[in-house]
Amino acid sequence: MTNTSEADTSDAGQSTAQPGRPPIVAMAAWQAARDELLTREKAHTREGDAIAAARRRLPMVEFDGSVKVVGPDGPVPFLDLFQGRDELITYKHMWWDGTPHQGQCEGCTVAAWHLQATEAYLNARGVSLALVTVGAWDEVAPFVEFMGYTSPWYSVLGVEGPVGGDMGYVTSYLRDGDRVFMTYSTTGRGTEVMSGSFALLDMTPYGRGESWQDMPEGWPEGRHACWYWRTDVDGNGTWEGTGRPAPQWTRPGATPETTLGRQGSH
């Protein structure tokens, strides 16, 4: 009797692909293709290391570290966010004024939710973490409590310069005694480094399921970017009023909604 798996495989270790799927191959052929891709992946890693080295050599911007931000203990100098450490990373969380929890920024929720798992490791390396936002503290505090965030949060409402400014940025700072410097800042896809789920999704056959991706012919058609950041009560991706930022469904008291309730934004 002929082994079916052997009969379906050609001399090159490849069989006819299923509709809308890559070729089906024997393990040896898969390993050869994987090794070829690994060469590109290693080059990508080395280039990333070189970029990180250049990032460490960027010039710095000094600013007044005594500028006040507002947290659970009231106004405190920005210098306090370092918690005695020499390095600090902040994520600048966008904010919609007068808006219920489900109406707050789903993209910033992605970043803030992922960051919770990294704080202990940053601290062990001597780096502090804080989230800042232009929302008024009396609105921000209930949101932080609802989400169950344990990282420090502060309002930078009305603060300009490296401490405040535009939201949606990850920014790094260096302290030298009482002197404070901004060393790096990035936004857009530059903030993906905080959210490990993106890299994991990029390893899956269907990727992020977004229409901009370069997909094999016949692969499932992608949807709009970030469609899975907000879901309804059944876990279906939706940006309508019935949705919440995906992590909120894990929080006690999260209920189905009918509106985002957005009143205004900074």
The reported pLDDT for the residue numbered 12 is 47
Distance CA 98, CA 261 (A): 8
- Consecutive sets of 10 residues in the chain, 266 residues long: mean pLDDT of each? 42 56 92 98 98 97 98 98 98 96 95 94 97 98 97 97 95 98 97 94 95 90 94 92 94 90 77
The reported pLDDT for the residue numbered 19 is 65
The reported pLDDT for the residue numbered 173 is 98
Prediction pTM value: 0.89
Distance CA 4, CA 125 (A): 54
- Domains located in the chain, CATH noted: 61-194 (3.40.30.10)
The reported pLDDT for the residue numbered 9 is 45
The reported pLDDT for the residue numbered 15 is 56
Q: Which long-range contacts (CB under 8 A, 24 or more apart) does 121-128 make?
A: 122/89, 123/85, 126/85, 126/86, 126/87, 127/85, 127/87, 127/88, 127/89, 128/81, 128/82, 128/83, 128/85, 128/87, 128/88, 128/89
The reported pLDDT for the residue numbered 233 is 92
The reported pLDDT for the residue numbered 2 is 41
